Amino acid sequence: MKISKDLWCIIISAVAFGLSFILQDISSVLLIIAYIIVSYEIFIKVIKNFGKGIIFDENFLMMIATIGAFIIGEWHEAVAVMLFYQIGEYMNDLGVEKSKKAIKDLVDVRCEVAIKLENNQEKVVNPSSLSVKDIIIVKPGDRIPVDGVVLEGNSNVDTSSITGEAVPRKVEKMSEVYSGYINLDGILKVEVTKEFKDSLVSRILKVIEESEIDKSNTEKFITKFAKIYTPLVVISALLLFIIPTLLLGGNINTWFYRSLIFLVASCPCALVLSIPLGYFCGIGASSRHGILVKSSNGLEKLSKMNLFAFDKTGTLTKGSFAIKSITPNKIRKNELLEITAHCEYYSNHPIAMSIKNAYKGKLDPKNISDFKERNGGIKVKYKKDQIILGNYQFLSNNHIEVPKIIEDGTVIYVAKNYNYIGNIIIGDVIKDEAVEVINNLKEMNINNLAILSGDNIETVSIVAKKLGINQYYSDLKPLDKKNCIDKLKTNHKVCFIGDGINDAVVLLGADLGISMGHVGSDAAIEASDIVIMNDNLWNILKALKISNYTNKIVLENIVFALLVKLIVLSLGVVGISTIIMAVFADIGVTVITVLNSLRIMCKKV
């Protein structure tokens, strides 16, 4: 194992410090050597900070405290303070690096090489050199280097590094694939759709790297607090020395020593280091589950939301048309589907496509004639029969009596020779996990739930009733949704969950925006605070639990650090605390809070 320069300094200083107790004749020399080795970087930092106008920080406090200890003859304690301080800093750096590495390991899945197809020859290139429209070959076991679309081949791909999903996803011709996916079996020929710098993994890494810019309110407070707190500590330490000695006639050495204890114990290292680390660990824990948190501010705010508003299509529902029910009238179900599928043969409408996809038999256009598509329906001859199908109004206009059905979806009424023979309901299906997720949110005391949708009132009300959501709004355009969110924000902290493409304005307007949806959507990453990469509603609950746990750990660190410091400071004023206890109040507490923050990375949700 390679030993770093900092660790070498600590080891040499610790050896010299230990020998000073044995070799009494050269004890002073050994202590000075130990002190210089372990503290020279602190002095350099203080001098550089002076040049920047930064005077009162933890480095300055440690320097003043240890010089003071030398002045009053407490040489061993002076070296011990600086040595333990550097040990604590080293352990903290190890913890921070471990956390950063864990996060990078979770998302840093960039590919080092790509196989480019040039003149039917395979050429190994750097992915950063690829351009849009280039053709690449992805072999089994290789990681896909850039975003693209499959031109040839079938395979299963492992998307877990991006979405957190363990189940492989099948891809075929015209399937979109993204950087970071691993090709598991077949050979794929892929056309590049985005350059390396714009590919999904590169954008995710950029978000992670920039996540420290938008600090949480707690971090902002602690940063401001430290700037005011440190000078107050120095002034208080001076007063603790001046008042008892000059005004009350106290012993100079005694009160000088107590003021040094006050300085060391008051260092805000634990708060300044452990709080940002806590949120950083929360972001890392989230990414493990396919949850991209853009900033510590977003992670902190999530736990404070008391109203969750959902877009309907693509968020609570699957966002794709499918047959929900087939209800025949004096005819077999399969026969009704066969007739309807043939009659929709020439239509490219999404509803028509869903009916044709559901019919497993062979469509024979020879049986279709006189095809006429009108607004609201179709007239066509199938074999020798006149078939009319469409919405309620269309069949009524053709003098066909049909039952009016109120259902979540589009009702296709079918008539044969002007006699009603049944209906097929096409709709967007509610996601399998939606009901349970909504119930779990209620169990977590989040009872303010709403649906904001552009669909009609009948459709939205049925979905809301099935999910147990009492508050819902329909027929909303994107700006209408934004206005609705603004009204909800007057009495609540609103988290909006949408698909990240059509709802970009709403995501930006809410107190917190969560994107459910397409992993390749630029709008999702740009507009929202949190992106659920695998489109699974369960991850909203996971993100919420991680947010709650992270804020709990951060609060524990704040309370613990302040409580220990308060006790040691109080005991120091009355002469009970020693400078070693003060070191524990600073460095010991820092190490404990840092380790406590690292627990977030191990949290199971």
Domain boundaries, the chain: 131-194, 318-429
pLDDT score recorded for residue 36: 92
Whether the pLDDT of residue 92 is over 80: the answer is no
Nearest Cα neighbor of 597 from 84, 218, 59, 82 is 218
pLDDT score recorded for residue 416: 95
Whether the pLDDT of residue 166 is over 60: the answer is no
Question: pLDDT of 552-561, one tens digit each?
Answer: 999 999 999 8
CA–centroid distance for 182 within its chain: 22
What pLDDT band is residue 475 in, cutting at 50, 70 and 90? confident
Which residues are known to be catalytic? 311
Alpha carbon distances (Å) from 543 to 522, 547, 605: 21, 6, 9
Q: Which residue has the tokens 């020859």?
A: 121
CA dihedral (475, 476, 480, 483) positive or negative: positive
Tokens read off for 585 = 């109040």
Nearest Cα neighbor of 499 from 308, 319, 293, 251 is 319
Question: pLDDT of 242-262, one tens digit each?
Answer: 888 887 888 888 888 888 888
What whole-number distance in Å separates Cα of residue 579 and Cα of residue 568? 10
Taking the whole predicted model, whether its pTM rises above 0.75 is answered as no
Mean pLDDT of the 35-43 span: 89
Whether the pLDDT of residue 272 is over 80: the answer is no
pLDDT score recorded for residue 400: 94
Class of domain 318-429: alpha beta
pLDDT score recorded for residue 161: 66
Mean pLDDT of the 382-387 span: 92
What pLDDT band is residue 517 in, cutting at 50, 70 and 90? low
- DSSP single-letter state for residue 379: E
CATH node for 131-194: 2.70.150.10
Q: What is the mean pLDDT of the chain?
A: 84
Nearest Cα neighbor of 341 from 327, 325, 361 is 361
CA–centroid distance for 167 within its chain: 21
Mean pLDDT of the 362-368 span: 89
pLDDT score recorded for residue 590: 81
As a whole-number percent, the residues of the chain with pLDDT over 70 amount to 89
What whole-number distance in Å separates Cα of residue 281 and Cα of residue 554? 11
What whole-number distance in Å separates Cα of residue 109 and Cα of residue 205? 9
Mean pLDDT of the 28-34 span: 92
Nearest Cα neighbor of 45 from 65, 24, 20, 62 is 62
**Angle of helix 269-288 relative to helix 538-573, nearest 10 degrees?**
170
Question: pLDDT of 390-439, one tens digit each?
Answer: 989 999 999 999 998 877 778 899 999 999 999 999 877 888 899 999 99
pLDDT score recorded for residue 595: 86
pLDDT score recorded for residue 211: 52
CA dihedral (570, 572, 577, 578) positive or negative: positive
What pLDDT band is residue 266 in, cutting at 50, 70 and 90? confident
pLDDT score recorded for residue 428: 78
